[in-house]
């Protein structure tokens, strides 16, 4: 059987690569012991802000066997989204991950294909695909399976490609060969902490979600607090500052996923264009985009906040 574990693991990793994932790591599906006190402390300090869903399913969030029946393995996958070109300098900014088609659709399709091919090759394997849409601690699993380490900005980092990628999981009821975690390579660097304009990184490895520009521009449904006026550095949807300043991201290479390419007009739009955006243009630009999450009214609110 051990021979099979190794054979199956290698097969899964080769298929993941064929589907366009930049890396694949595998962990034993079990309770995340180290994460439990960390998550509890973070929630107690209300660092989730209005993201009340973070308080739900505490047990499932820490134990995949409660999420997927008889699960034995967590397969973690990374998909690059680093763009070839970025927006016009004189523009309000969108997080790079939102330039193209909503990643949930793109990755879900790839994960379905991966599960199908596992079932064809190996047999009666059951599981579920996750793309940050369920209580799964993506970054913790990716780090556990050796895909990178969690940086001081709380994003997963790798020496080869930095941090501009999506993390997804396939949790299945098949025993596989498990990978080991890698080591932390942040060293004494504090660039991400120093660069965050709202001081959301309260200490190394801890991000107060309720102070993060991404939280204000995407998750928060109410008015953005006035105390952060002038601190958003023109970000109207999400924020990449802590990743942009990270030295490891000088190794980022452009993705080769056509679905992540931006709408042709998006990169050339100026602040004036954004200020005058109509609902029809919004729908056309962001037809299948993650930006729809904030809705037209939300994006207008964010742009007005930056203008005032």
Across the range 278-289, mean pLDDT stands at 94
**Residue closest to 233 by CA, chosen among 82, 91, 83, 97:** 91
More reliable by pLDDT, 45 or 302:
302
Q: What percent of the chain has pLDDT over 70?
A: 95
pTM of model > 0.75: yes
Confidence at residue 116, expressed as pLDDT on a 0 to 100 scale = 97
Give the span between the Cα atoms of 108 and 169, in whole angstroms.
Answer: 10
Give the span between the Cα atoms of 208 and 214, in whole angstroms.
Answer: 11
Task: Give me the phi and psi of 34, to 5 degrees please.
Answer: -70, -30
Exposed e or buried b for every residue in 188-209, given b needs 16+ CB within 10 A? ebebbbebbebebbeeeebbbb
Split at pLDDT 50, 70, 90, the class of 2 is: low
User: Active-site residue numbers?
Assistant: 132
Split at pLDDT 50, 70, 90, the class of 56 is: low
The string of pLDDT tens digits covering residues 9-26 is: 999 999 999 999 999 999
More reliable by pLDDT, 127 or 46:
127
3-state class (DSSP) for residue 98 = helix
**Strand-pair partners of 169:** 76, 130
CA 126 to chain CA mean position, Å: 25
pLDDT over 90 at 240, yes or no? yes
pLDDT over 60 at 1, yes or no? no
Confidence at residue 53, expressed as pLDDT on a 0 to 100 scale = 62
CA 233 to chain CA mean position, Å: 21
The string of pLDDT tens digits covering residues 31-53 is: 888 887 777 776 677 767 666 66
């Amino acid at each position: 059987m051990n021979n099979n574990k190794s054979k199956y693991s290698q097969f899964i990793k080769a298929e993941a690569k064929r589907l366009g994932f930049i890396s694949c790591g595998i962990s034993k599906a079990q309770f995340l012991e180290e994460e439990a006190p960390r998550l509890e402390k973070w929630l107690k300090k209300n660092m989730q802000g209005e993201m009340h869903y973070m308080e739900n399913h505490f047990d499932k969030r820490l134990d995949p066997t409660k999420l997927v029946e008889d699960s034995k393995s967590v397969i973690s996958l990374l998909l690059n989204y680093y763009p070839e070109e970025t927006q016009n300098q004189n523009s309000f900014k969108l997080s790079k991950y939102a330039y193209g088609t909503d990643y949930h659709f793109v990755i879900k399709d790839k994960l379905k294909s991966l599960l199908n091919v596992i079932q064809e090759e190996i047999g009666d394997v059951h599981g579920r695909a996750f793309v940050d849409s369920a209580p799964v601690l993506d970054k913790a699993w990716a780090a556990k399976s050796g895909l990178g380490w969690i940086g001081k900005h709380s994003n997963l980092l790798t020496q080869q490609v930095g941090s501009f990628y999506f993390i997804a999981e396939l949790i299945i009821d098949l025993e596989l060969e498990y990978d080991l975690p890698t080591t932390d390579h942040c060293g004494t660097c504090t660039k991400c902490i120093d660069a965050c304009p709202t001081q959301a990184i309260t200490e190394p490895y801890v991000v107060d979600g309720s102070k993060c520009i991404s939280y204000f521009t995407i998750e928060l449904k109410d008015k953005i607090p006035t105390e952060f006026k002038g601190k958003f550095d023109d970000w109207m949807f999400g924020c990449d500052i802590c990743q942009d300043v990270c030295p490891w991201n000088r190794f980022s290479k452009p993705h080769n996923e056509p679905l992540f390419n931006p709408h042709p007009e998006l990169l050339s739009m100026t602040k004036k264009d954004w200020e005058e955006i109509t609902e029809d243009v919004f729908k056309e630009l962001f037809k299948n985009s993650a930006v729809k999450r904030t809705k037209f009214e939300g994006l207008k609110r964010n742009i007005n906040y930056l203008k005032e």
